[in-house]
Amino acid sequence: MDIMTGAGLAFGMIVIAMMVFMGGDLHMFVSEHAMIIIFGGSIAATMIRFPLGAILHGLPLGAKYAFTMSRLSARDLVDELARIAEISRKQGPVGLEKVETTEPFLAKGVRFVADGYDLEFIRDNLERDRDNFLMHLDEGSKIYRAIGDCAPAFGMIGTLIGMVQMFANMTDPSKLGPFMATALLATLYGALVANLFCLPIADKLHGKLLDEETNRTLIIDGILMIRDSKSPALVREMLLAYLPEKHRHEEGEPVPA
């Protein structure tokens, strides 16, 4: 669970709620017309920008990975692959059938080696799996960013509609307040949807995409070296190149100057 995503959203909503209740009550900040223009308009624009398949894959995958983290860090993956390489060297591919790991992509690669698939098949299958996953995650990031980009614009459209309605009813003072409230709330909703939810989620997904690309590429290289019967020490040293210098050494081990 990525605690920071949930904590950030909760803290942001608490701040907004505090400001709302300090200056009045919740009812004055609710407008069905503003909600329709913001959410309806944003959804319509997103449907125009992206094909249905991208939306159906990208939105749920993006929502899932914005609130979750990889089961293993890159450093943990290096240690895990070195451990698997040691098992493979001592027991052969058959010994890998009993290996258990919490990382599904790694488990898939280990299963391929245990079943005796050739090197090219393993490489092609895992790289295709990685590329498809990253493509859907990137789609999710782009969709949330697109919603975040157009929500403030539809807020401005809602404001303009409210002002037009207000000026068209200047002779009836009783209607001026509701129309002005709709105009201002549309801008407020658009800003909140974009800056508290969609754009931060898009940025979080972009960061997760970079991490997943590194982790899955690391796994692919490690699995191929294990399939090629490389020694555990060589597997570890080769994979440590994926890590920043400060993360290549165990805790308490001095870092070379």
> Is residue 77 assigned to a domain?
yes
Domain extent at residue 39: 30-245
> Is residue 40 assigned to a domain?
yes
> Is residue 19 assigned to a domain?
no
> Is residue 73 assigned to a domain?
yes
pTM of the complete model: 0.82
What does the pLDDT look like over 217-256, one tens digit per residue?
999 999 999 999 899 999 999 998 888 776 666 544 443 4
> Is residue 15 assigned to a domain?
no
Instruction: Give 222's contacts (C-beta < 8 A, 6+ positions apart).
Output: 77, 78, 81, 84, 85, 109, 235, 239
pLDDT at 65: 85
Residue 193 and residue 41 in contact, taking contact as beta carbons nearer than 8 Å: no
pLDDT at 246: 63
What does the pLDDT look like over 101-158, one tens digit per residue?
888 999 999 999 999 899 999 999 999 999 999 998 999 999 999 999 999 999 999 9
> Is residue 7 assigned to a domain?
no
> Is residue 175 assigned to a domain?
yes
Count of the separate structural domains present in the chain: 1
> Is residue 256 assigned to a domain?
no
pLDDT at 126: 96
Token pair belonging to 133:
């996953």
